[in-house]
Every structure is written in C-alpha cells, then in structure tokens.
Homo-oligomer: A and B are copies of this chain.
Amino acid sequence: MSAEDATYYPGVPLRGYMDAAASSAPAPGGGSVSATVGALGAALVSMVCNLTLGKEKFAHLEGQVKELVEQAEQLRRELILLLQNDTTAYNGVIAAYRLPKETDEEKAARHVAVQKGLMHAADVPLDICRAAVRVCRLAKTAAEVGNPAAVTDAGCAVLFGEAAAQGAALNVEINLGSIEEEAYRRAAADEVAGILAEAAALRTEVLKTTREKL
C-alpha cells in the first residue's frame, strides 16, 4: 500500500502518522492533521452517545441519541476520507506544472490546468472546514442531551471541532492566494468566515454548558 492509497493514513499507527506529519515531506501537513483532529472530535461525540444509550435514566432520549451517534459516525467517516485526500490534493497541481510549456498554446493549456488543480486542492481543506463546524454542532447536542457524566468529552469535542475548522481555514486561505478566479476566491473566503464565526460561538456556548454540568 502506498501513501496515495485512499485508505493509507487511517491504517498507519498513531505514532507513525505523527512521524509523517513531523517530517519535511509536504503531506500530511496542517490540512490533513486538521481533518484528523476533527475526526477525533466526532469520535468523542460518539463516546458521549455510547455512554448514554441503553441506560434506563436516559431511555426517554434514546431516539435522539441514536440519531446523534449515526450523524457523528458518518461525519467521522467523511473526515477520515478527507485526512487521506488532503495528502494527495496537490498531486493534480504538481502534474499540471509538469505539462509542456514550449508553444503559446501549451503555455495557455498548462495555465488553465494549474488553476483547475489549485481550485481542486483548495476544495479539500474547504470540505474539512465544513465538516469541522458540523462536529461543533453535534458536540452542542451531546453536551445538552448526553450523559452528564461524559460532559467533558462533549466539551473536548467542540474544542477539537473548532480548532480543526480554524486549521482547515488557514489552509484554504493560503491556497486562495494563488487562485486567479475572483468569484471562487470571494465565495470561499465568505464561506470560511461564516464557518469560523459559527464555530467560535459554538465553542463558547458548549464550554459554558460543560462547566455548568461538571
């Protein structure tokens, strides 16, 4: 199995993934690690649910908590895919830069291919950012309806969701600098700003709920 296989990094030992992040290899970097941190947040939402389900005391919440754990597990699967995809997102850009550039026609085609590659590469951290704020939303529900004995795990989940959104946002922003299409740049920047504001508000709110239940 190679590092470009869609299931490579999720199967690497935790320490080995960290070693790869610490190395001078371009991937996995901050984008992939943001997806990993978001996935860890989603896992903690599931933990809160799994510590709530099947307990008589919380039987009246069973339906709501079952739905929450399904959403958290779906989100974790998406983020695990993204932590891998971010490590290969730049391959298209690198391939485009290697296109021939002898004639004017070749130069123009290469320029279009590079720009397309850059927008594809920027889409991956944008998807991570979108998924990360959903972790924050699920953490809010987990803090409100989950077993209060596990409320610190809901608090940790919102912290890791918010940090993942912020980290992915930095990776979107650095990519936007190389993208010429104004409409793409503006739409991405606006969406990221909205996500970060929502994630920050959720972090404040969920930490407040968590500390009240400690």
Enumerate chain A interface residues (CB-CB to B < 8 A).
9-15, 17-19, 21-24, 29-30, 33-34, 36-37, 39-40, 42-44, 46-47, 50-51, 53, 72-73, 76, 80, 83, 150, 152-153, 155-157, 159-160, 162-163, 166-167, 170-171, 173-174, 177, 207, 210-211, 214
Contacts and interface: CB of A to CB of B under 8 A. Distances in A.
Q: How many copies does the complex hold?
A: 2
Given A24-B47, A80-B18, A156 B34 contact: yes
B21 A40 contact: yes
Contacts of A159: 163, 166-167
A94 to B, nearest CB: 15
A40 to B, nearest CB: 5
A174 B152 contact: yes
Contacts of A34: 156
A85 to B, nearest CB: 15
